[in-house]
Amino acid sequence: MSDTPPIAVVGTGTGVGKTVVTAGLTSWFRESGVDARAIKPAQTGFPPDDDAGFVAEACEDTEAATCLTYLEPPLAPRVAAERTDESLEYDALLEGCRRELERTPVSIVEGIGGLRVPLAGEHEVLDLIADLSAVAVVVTRSGLGTLNHTALTVDALERRGVDVHGIVCNEYEGASVAERTNPSELERMTGRPVETVPPLPSDDPRELAAGVRDALSDGFCERLTEN
């Protein structure tokens, strides 16, 4: 495995922007001359959902992202596999991720929903992140309610020995007092740096990834490979 630990982009729930942040980080590294690749352990809701395809399109390179398994129902992977009578084994997913990690100097593993989402058998997404010895970037919403969800997510990761590199508040507008104060409160509560990404007025994966790259500080990205 690479000397650089995998970077796990995890969310406080579904639809918080993990894929866009994954695309932004992957393209940032690749444009900086680093051979980075995104790994999606399991994709549900396929089609139309295809997070690895989104990242590949954002980076304009089919080699920029891969997905280990696709499931049609838009459900947690374990539930989706059970309903379609498909085999989905945790050990196979873990070994598949490790094989992909061997191929790339910097790997970015995108989670599925939140940390407690059932992945395969009795294992959850959190188990995979911990077993891969990844460092985590937590993606969360910016508005009211995010303090609790984000702090609990960080706590869950830290209890499993996962280093939390930082937090990204997605679609940050600063339109309310709660939103304007959330970044500093999250830093106080978790002791982790917080970055913000504004709403991005585009559906083009390349433009969305570029928007994330522009919003995240170079230091935040560079430090991801210093662990």
Query: Region 173-188: what's the mean pLDDT?
Result: 97
DSSP 131: H
Q: What is the mean pLDDT of the chain?
A: 96
What distance in Å separates the CA atoms of residue 140 and residue 79, rounded to the nearest whole number? Answer: 24
2: left (phi over 0), alpha (psi -120 to 50) or beta: beta
What distance in Å separates the CA atoms of residue 160 and residue 127, rounded to the nearest whole number? Answer: 8
Find all residues with CB under 8 Å of 198, minimum gap 6, and list them: 171, 172, 173, 211, 215
pLDDT band at 227 (very low <50, low <70, confident <90, very high): low
Q: Note the CATH architecture for domain 7-225.
A: 3-Layer(aba) Sandwich (3.40)
Selection from 14, 217, 210, 213 nearest residue 112 by Cα: 14
pLDDT band at 2 (very low <50, low <70, confident <90, very high): low
36-56 per-residue burial string, b: 16 or more CB within 10 A, e: under 16 = bbbbbbbbbbbeeebbbbbbb
The structural domains of the chain, with segments of one domain joined by +, span 7-225
What distance in Å separates the CA atoms of residue 108 and residue 7, rounded to the nearest whole number? Answer: 5
Whether a cis peptide bond, with omega within 30° of 0, leads into 48 is yes
pLDDT score for 225 = 86
Binding-site annotation: residue ranges for Mg(2+): 19, 51, 110
Q: Does residue 1 carry a pLDDT above 60?
A: no
Q: Does residue 170 carry a pLDDT above 60?
A: yes
Selection from 134, 123, 174, 155 nearest residue 12 by Cα: 155
86-130 pLDDT per residue, tens: 999 999 999 999 999 999 999 999 999 999 999 999 999 999 999
What distance in Å separates the CA atoms of residue 69 and residue 164, rounded to the nearest whole number? Answer: 26
Q: Mind telling me the catalytic residues?
A: 40
pLDDT score for 4 = 86
**Whether the predicted model's global pTM rises above the 0.95 cut:** yes
Q: Does residue 39 carry a pLDDT above 70?
A: yes
Binding-site annotation: residue ranges: 15-20, 44, 51, 110-113, 170-171, 198-200
Selection from 95, 94, 22 nearest residue 65 by Cα: 22
Binding-site annotation: residue ranges for substrate: 44
Whether a cis peptide bond, with omega within 30° of 0, leads into 47 is yes
51-90 pLDDT per residue, tens: 999 999 999 999 999 999 999 999 999 999 999 999 999 9
Neighbours of 201 (CB within 10 A): 8
181-204 pLDDT per residue, tens: 999 999 999 999 999 999 999 999
Secondary structure of the chain: what % helix, strand, coil (to 5)? 45, 20, 35
pLDDT band at 226 (very low <50, low <70, confident <90, very high): confident
pLDDT score for 3 = 74
